[in-house]
Structure 1
Amino acid sequence: MDALDLARWQFGITTVYHFLFVPITLGLSMLVAGLQTAWHRSGNEAYLRATKFWGKLLVINFAMGVVTGIVQEFQFGMNWSDYSRFVGDIFGAPLAIEGLLAFFLESTFLGLWLFGWDKLPKRVHLACVWLFAVGTWLSAYFILAANSFMQHPVGYEMNAERGRAELHDFGAVLTQNTTVVTFAHTILAALLTAGAFMLTVAAWHIRRASSPDVFRPSMRLAMWVMLLAGIGTAISGDVQARIMTEQQPMKMAAAEALYDTTDKAGFSLFTIGSLDGEEEIASIRIPGLLSFMATGDPDGTVEGINDVQREYEQTYGPGNYKPNIPVAYWSFRLMIGFGSLAILIALAGLWVTRRGRVPRSRWFYLGTASAVTLPLLANTFGWIFTEMGRQPWTVFGVLQTKDSVSPTVSTFDVATSLTVLTLLYGVLAAVELKLLFTYGRSEPPQVTAHSEDDDSDRPLAFAY
């Protein structure tokens, strides 16, 4: 492999690794804020214990996400300097705001929340956790705005003299439909992931009859969040698919390995055929589903790979504009499949725990033990599809990936950094899992209330 291939592998590995932590932070921050609000309104100490317990796991995950995210951004200058030079004027703006505004907001108020117990008034302390949660969502929005520009470039003008794209309308970058629907889809998927994380840990404690006053409400909350967020993820994904079909028809065609333009196109749940998808031996299909996903009409027309290839050659010149078809095809299905399984686990869990029931079946606990892996896998395959389906473009229709890599970085340089980072990330993964297992299996802290005339502005004291 040359430097380009290795640079793509490195960016893919670090991005997938980083995004294991991001959705848990995005979703769990809101769940922790909700639990603390419930304690603030009800005075029920079980909610305070739950807030402290899940807050510890949130902080561990947030710290790991920060560390891995910094490396990811440095790669733009290390391995992708031509890309950074070409679109830095546009791409840098949302990332700068994310770092200077959103990240400062979330890190500052996380610190105040973390060290403000028994020091800040209850209402101020509650505001801190909500501002931290809002900060994480703002960070996600600005980063997704930058990524959405790569999917559908808007708000820019080409400077032919300098050979680069320059920002013309920042509002268009922030408010285009690609950004808005991607943000909604990502946040809902994050809530699904955080709910699955909470379910896995809470069910482990429930099976051992550990603090049921804390973990049974947490488990029910987690499953309701998974169910509702999962449905929302499916709906937002449906909207996103139609926007994607309009803006990147090749990506939708690759998702089905559809080579010829077809009316009433079916969606194959499983296909046996050649690796390039051109020869189909057998498949299981849902008639009209692909047309409905792409156009909103089961009788709609979906352009095929060959027809889109010809259109792109006329527009952009000679070249191969087909992504890796097997990767696009299977990542699209695995994304949907794993996400659907997570929703089914939540639905089944709500049924077996209704009216105060405590599940006894080992199948329930086997399902909940694996619950957290399902949305994590769905997120991973979703991002693989999103980024691989756009190839050969870094910025769709503007800059190709082969023209984005750093010209002075050698194969040895990228191979060295790829090896070092992969090994380092392996160590970090071991540390993360050790911390999560240690604190996840611990008991929630006990709390005792001070005798006060008015405790509305003071937090409860808690003992570890």
Structure 2
Amino acid sequence: MHDPAGMDVLDLSRWQFGITTVYHFLFVPLTIGLSILVAGLQTAWHRTRKPEYLRLTKFFGKLFLINFAMGVVTGIVQEFQFGMNWSDYSRFVGDVFGAPLAMEGLMAFFLESTFIGLWIFGWDRLSPRLHLATIWIAAIGTNLSAYFILAANSWMQHPVGYRINNGRAELTDIWAVLTNSTTLVTFPHVIFGAFIAAGAFVLGVSAWFLLRKRDVDMFRISARMAMVVSLVAAIGVSLSGHWQAQIMTEQQPMKMAAAEALWEDETSAGFSLFAIGDVENGRNHVNLQIPYGLSLLSTNTLDGKVEGINDIQARYEALYGPGDYRPVVGLAYWSFRLMIGFGMLSALAALVGLWLTRRGRLPASRWPYRLAIVGIGLPFLANTLGWIFTEMGRQPWTVFGLMRTAAAVSPGVDVTSVAITLVGFTLVYAVLAFIEVRLMLKFIRIGPQEEQEPDSAVPALSY
């Protein structure tokens, strides 16, 4: 459906879903990572009774709760869009897609929301051990929630456990959906990415206090913890990303080829560092490579074969019929590189920070602290670009090999309604972003409060 100005319902719907999804995912990795870090800090306090750990638990716990609330609010909008903008998609996949999402809502979200409530209000009502269990159960629920949502998304990337009946995909094996090979590689990659984001956030906030010489001994602890978490998570991201690239090469070779601007089938293919391509004619003018790098990444061998865009396009036309099965090559290529680049910078920052703070030292210069504050954004950029690559690289498919994106949009939606809601959501999200930043900055400036344990050793907490 087009309007006189050439606007397209499909394109506007994609923009709307993309904007709301990217915005929502800014909160998700921080929530996932912070839930575990806060639980770890409370565990350290429970075991040592050192007041520094208690103050850090409550301080970062407040920031975690603000972020969790924003994530819940922004995530609800996505559910509505499935029915409003993508009704044909919902009709086609609802029987399969709804199962893991129902499990996420009824089990995982129930765990995290219920036990977060118990954690907030249970400081002076529950025993220390039981109260500690509430934050761990909430953290486990948060990670379970991510698993079920990724299982649903992975089915779109690699459909399994279904049959087609009367033009709809029907679930035949929920276990196959939950143990989809795509899910098994995507979940650790996303979780490790979340830990990098949470580590960078805790490090940046700690650096802000260290720069101002406030609670130096306490924030030295959180800064070191954050850098260790970020570095270990970066190693996990690299290993899981390597595994994910091999699965992607097997299941979605066009996505891998677009990520490398690889136009023809190659053995001993190099990993592209910088390329200038001619999409219309299917070739590169310039391509600076690491020899054998792509074959090693994709096949674990130096002489492995990697399929190229032109060859895959010809094969897909024979398999699926006429059409352009290429994603936006430039977007796939650069989002893939920038994702890796920002992730590597986060890892490097953690490594340098650990060296600068070795043996209890703190840098005398102000620039490491300032870089740590700015570095909060690096893993968020990496995570966002990773999802842009994942979703845009799958195009023109909504469900790979089964349903094209053009067939998924709601038939009864017009340009005006989508445009109005697109502008409306964007403005609302801008207001929410302002509120989120103001709240975060307010509680960061206030800083950790002094804590006095009552005789019962169960501290009171006021939120």
The TM-score bracket by the shorter chain reads: over 0.9
Percent identity at matched positions?
63
Query: Counterparts of 2:111 and 2:234 in 1: how far apart (Å)?
Result: 28
Specify which of 325, 338, 343 is matched with residue 339 of structure 1. 343
Match of 1:426 among 412, 430, 435: 430
1:319: how far off? 1.1
Q: Distance in 2 between matches of 1:443 and 1:402?
A: 50
Q: Is the 8 A contact 1:211 1:443 kept in 2?
A: no
Question: Which residue of structure 1 aligns with residue 14 of structure 2?
Answer: 8
Residue by residue over 1:179-207, the C-alpha shift from the partner in whole angstroms, topping out at 9 and shown as x without a partner, is: 11111110010001000000110000011
1:59 aligns with 2:70: no
> Structure 1 136/185 Cα, relative in aligned 2: closer, same or farther at 3 Å?
same
**Which residue number corresponds to residue 449 of structure 2?**
445
Partner of 1:459: 458
* 2:397 paired with 1:393: yes
Contact between 2:162 and 2:170, CA under 8 Å: does it hold in 1? yes
Q: Which of residues 20, 24, 28 is equivalent to 1:22?
A: 28
**1:363 Cα shift?**
2.5
1:392-427 deviation per Cα after TM superposition (whole angstroms, max 9, x unaligned): 000000000000000000011111110100011011
Name the structure 1 match of 2:97.
Answer: 91
Contact 2:261 2:275 in 1 (8 A): no
Partner of 1:78: 84
**Alignment partner for residue 110 of structure 2, among 97, 104, 115?**
104
SS of alignment partner, residue 165 of structure 1: strand
Cα deviation, residue 275, structure 1: 5.9
- Please give the alpha-carbon distance, in whole angstroms, between the structure 1 residues aligned to 2:203 and 2:441: 14
The alpha carbon displacement at 1:36 in A equals: 0.2
- What are the Cα deviations for residues 189-243 of structure 1, in whole angstroms up to 9, with x where unaligned? 0001000000110000011111123211000000000000011001000000000
Structure 1 residue 281, shift from structure 2 partner: 3.5
CA distance in structure 2 between the aligned counterparts of 1:181 and 1:41, rounded to whole angstroms:
34
The one-letter amino acid of 1:92's match is G
Kindly state the Cα deviation for residue 315 of structure 1 after the two structures are TM-superposed.
1.2
What are the equivalent positions in structure 2 for 1:171-320 lying under 5 Å apart? 171-274=175-278, 278-320=282-324
In structure 1, give the amino acid aligned to 2:141. Answer: G
| Partners of 2:281 and 2:152 in 1: CA distance | 32
Q: Is the 8 A contact 1:60 1:432 kept in 2?
A: yes
Deviation of residue 443 (structure 1)? 2.0
In structure 2, give the amino acid aligned to 1:312. Y
Displacement, 1:119?
A: 1.3
Contact 1:57 1:439 in 2 (8 A): yes
Partner of 1:349: 353
Q: Deviations over 1:289-335 (max 9, x none)?
A: 11111111122111000111111111111111111100000000010
1:461 CA drift (Å): 4.0
- Structure 1 residues 277 and 206: CA distance shift in structure 2, 3 A: farther
Q: Is the 8 A contact 1:257 1:277 kept in 2?
A: no
Q: Which residues of 2 match residues 355-434 of structure 1 at below 5 A?
A: 355-434=359-438
Contact 1:445 1:463 in 2 (8 A): no
Q: Distance in 2 between matches of 1:72 and 1:127?
A: 31
Residue in 1 that maps onto 2:3? none
Q: Residue 158 of structure 1 is aligned with which of 156, 164, 171?
A: 164
Q: Deviations over 1:25-68 (max 9, x none)?
A: 00000000000000000111110000000000000000000000
1:100 offset after TM fit, Å? 1.2
Give the deviation of 1:277 after TM superposition: 8.2
Residue 436 of structure 1: CA displacement?
0.8
Q: How far did residue 264 of structure 1 move?
A: 1.2
- The separation in 2 between residues aligned to 1:152 and 1:280, in whole angstroms, is 29
The whole-number CA distance in structure 2 between the counterparts of 1:382 and 1:443 is 33
Distance 1:319 1:280 in 2: 22
Query: Higher mean Cα deviation, 274-283 or 334-343?
Result: 274-283
Q: Secondary structure at the match of 2:302?
A: coil
The amino acid across from 1:106 in the alignment is E
Deviation track 1:116-159 (CA, whole Å, cap 9, x = no partner) reads 11111101110000000001001000000000000000000010
Is the contact made by 1:153 and 1:395 (CA closer than 8 Å) also made in structure 2? yes
- Gaps in structure 1 of 5+ consecutive residues: none
Hey, what's the Cα distance between the residues in 1 that align with 2:397 and 2:292? Answer: 29
Q: 2: distance between equivalents of 1:359 and 1:95?
A: 47
Residue type at the aligned position of 1:426: A
Question: 1:166: how far off?
Answer: 0.2
Structure 2: stretches of 5+ with no match in the other structure: 1-6
Q: Does structure 2 retain, via aligned residues, the 8 Å contact 1:268–1:283?
A: yes
SS of structure 2 residue aligned to 1:20: helix
Establish whether residue 117 from structure 1 lines up as the match of residue 143 from structure 2: no
Q: Is the 8 A contact 1:448 1:463 kept in 2?
A: no
